[in-house]
Amino acid sequence: MSAWEPVIGLEIHAQLATKSKIFSGSATAYGAPPNAQANLVDLGYPGVLPVLNAEAVRMAVKLGLAINARIATHSVFARKNYFYPDLPKGYQISQYELPIVAKGVIDIVLEDGSTKRIGVTRAHLEEDAGKSLHEGLPGLTGIDLNRAGTPLVEIVSEPEMRSAKEAVAYMKKVHTLVRYLEICDGNMQEGSFRCDANVSVRRAGESKFGTRAEIKNLNSFRFVERAINYEIGRQIELIESGGAVVQETRLYDPDKGETRPMRSKEEANDYRYFPDPDLLPVELEEAFIEAVRASLPELPDHKAARFSAQYALSAYDAGVLIASRELAAYYEEVVAAAPQDPKLAANWVMGELAAALNKENLDVSCGKLSAAHLAGLLRRIGDGTISGKIAKEVFEAMWSGGVSADAVIESKGLRQITDSAAIERAIDEVMAKHPSQLADYCAGKDKLFGFFVGQVMKATSGKANPAQLNELLRRKLSG
Amino acid sequence: MDDFHNSTLRQLAAGLRARKFSSVELVGAFLERIERHQAALNAFISVTRSQALEAAREADRSLASGAGGALTGVPIAHKDLFCTKGVRTTCGSRMLENFISPYDATVVAKLRSAGAVMLGKTNMDEFAMGSSNETSYYGPVRNPWNPALVPGGSSGGSAAAVAARLVPVATATDTGGSIRQPAALCGITGLKPTYGRVSRYGMVAFASSLDQGGVLTTNAADAALLLREMAGFDANDSTSVDVAVPDYLAALGSPLKGLKIGLLREFFDQGLDAENERQVREALRVFESLGARLVEVSLPHLPLSVPVYYVVAPAECSSNLARFDGVRFGHRCENPRDLNDMYRRSRGEGFGAEVKRRIMTGTYVLSAGYYDAYYLKAQRVRSLINADFSRAFESVDVLLGPTTPTPAFAIGAKTADPITMYLNDIYTIGANLAGLPAISVPCGFVQDLPVGLQIVGPHFSEARVLNAAHAFQEATDWHTRAPAGYA
What residue ranges define each of the domains in chain A, with the CATH number in brackets? 4-291 (no CATH), 298-412 (no CATH), 420-478 (1.10.10.410)
Q: Of the candidates A40, A272, A273, which has its C-beta nearest B103's C-beta?
A: A40
- The whole-number pLDDT of residue A140 equals 86
Mean pLDDT of A87-96: 97
Q: Of the candidates B205, B319, B329, which has its C-beta nearest A91's C-beta?
A: B319
Q: Of the candidates B319, B327, B375, which has its C-beta nearest A143's C-beta?
A: B327
- Is A45 at the interface with chain B, CB within 8 A? yes
- Is A47 at the interface with chain B, CB within 8 A? yes
Mean pLDDT of B444-467: 98
Condensed to tens digits (0 to 9), the pLDDT of residues B51-99 reads 999 999 999 999 999 888 899 999 999 999 999 999 999 999 999 999 9
C-alpha pair distances (Å), A31 with each of A146, A211, A218, A366: 9, 39, 20, 21
- The whole-number pLDDT of residue A1 equals 47
Question: Phi and psi dihedrals of B396, rounded to 5?
Answer: -130, 160
Question: Phi and psi dihedrals of B213, rounded to 5?
Answer: -75, 150
Element (H, E) at A340: none
| H-state helical runs in B117-268 | 156-163, 180-186, 220-230
ω into B154 cis (within 30 of 0): yes
Condensed to tens digits (0 to 9), the pLDDT of residues B229-285 reads 999 999 999 999 999 999 999 999 999 999 999 999 888 887 899 999 999 999 999
Mean pLDDT of B359-374: 96
Condensed to tens digits (0 to 9), the pLDDT of residues B180-230 reads 999 999 999 999 999 999 999 999 999 999 999 999 999 999 999 999 999
> How far, in Å, CA of A24 to CA of A56, rounded?
12
> How far, in Å, CA of B465 to CA of B281, rounded?
18
- Is A274 at the interface with chain B, CB within 8 A? yes
Condensed to tens digits (0 to 9), the pLDDT of residues A400-445 reads 988 899 888 888 877 888 888 888 898 999 989 999 988 898 888 8
- The whole-number pLDDT of residue A289 equals 98
- State the maximum Cα–Cα separation within chain A, in Å, rounded to a whole number: 99
- The whole-number pLDDT of residue A479 equals 66
Cross-strand partners of B401: B454
B367 is catalytic: no
- Sign of the dihedral through C-alpha B26, B31, B32, B36: positive
- Distance linking the first and last C-alpha atoms of chain B: 15
- The whole-number pLDDT of residue A264 equals 56
Q: Do A81 and B367 touch (CB under 8 A)?
A: no
Q: CA nearest B204 in A: which residue?
A: A47
* pLDDT for B349 beyond 80: yes
> How far, in Å, CA of B150 to CA of B123, rounded?
13
Let me know: does B293 contact B376? Beta carbons within 8 Å: no
**Surface of A (320-379) touching B: CB under 8 A:** none
Q: Do B102 and A46 touch (CB under 8 A)?
A: no
Which strand ranges, in their side-by-side order, compose the sheet holding A91-95?
Answer: A91-95, A77-81, A274-275
* pLDDT for B1 beyond 70: no
Element (H, E) at B31: helix B23-41
Chain A residues closer than 8 Å to B368 by CB: 270, 272
C-alpha pair distances (Å), A74 with each of A94, A102, A250, A278, B387: 15, 12, 35, 16, 21
Q: Of the candidates B239, B321, B327, which has its C-beta nearest A85's C-beta?
A: B327
Cross-strand partners of A154: A13, A124
Kindly list the structural domains of chain B, giving each domain's residue range(s) and its CATH number in brackets, ordered by start. Answer: 4-258+466-480 (3.90.1300.10)
Q: What is the band of A269 on the pLDDT scale with cuts at 50, 70, 90? A: confident
**Surface of B (49-108) touching A: CB under 8 A:** 81-83, 89, 91, 96, 99, 101-103, 105
* pLDDT for A5 beyond 60: yes
Q: Do B103 and A45 touch (CB under 8 A)?
A: yes
> How far, in Å, CA of B196 to CA of B210, rounded?
10
- The whole-number pLDDT of residue A265 equals 52
**Mean pLDDT score of chain B, rounded to an integer?**
96
What is the value of pTM for the model shown? 0.91
> How far, in Å, CA of B254 to CA of A405, rounded?
89
Condensed to tens digits (0 to 9), the pLDDT of residues A14-72 reads 999 999 999 999 999 888 999 999 999 999 999 999 999 999 999 999 999 999 999 99
Q: What is the band of B400 on the pLDDT scale with cuts at 50, 70, 90? A: very high
Question: Phi and psi dihedrals of B273, rounded to 5?
Answer: -55, 135
Q: CA nearest A139 in B: which residue?
A: B338
ipTM for the whole complex: 0.96
Q: Do B102 and A85 touch (CB under 8 A)?
A: no
Mean pLDDT of B340-357: 97
- Percent of chain A predicted with pLDDT > 70: 98
- Is A81 at the interface with chain B, CB within 8 A? yes
Condensed to tens digits (0 to 9), the pLDDT of residues A271-297 reads 999 999 999 999 999 999 999 999 999
Active-site pick, B22, B79, B131, B440: B79
Cross-strand partners of A263: A249
- The whole-number pLDDT of residue A279 equals 98
3-class SS of residue A94:
strand
Condensed to tens digits (0 to 9), the pLDDT of residues B321-332 reads 999 999 999 999
Mean pLDDT of B430-442: 98
- Is A38 at the interface with chain B, CB within 8 A? no
> How far, in Å, CA of A149 to CA of A127, rounded?
5
Question: Phi and psi dihedrals of B372, rounded to 5?
Answer: -65, -45
Please provide the DSSP assignment of A25-46 as one string. Answer: S-B--TTPSTTTT--TTTTT-T
Condensed to tens digits (0 to 9), the pLDDT of residues A203-245 reads 999 999 999 999 999 999 999 999 999 999 999 999 999 999 9
Let me know: does B76 contact B9? Beta carbons within 8 Å: no
**The CA-based dihedral angle spanning residues B168, B173, B176, B179, taken in that order and rounded to the nearest 10 degrees:** 0
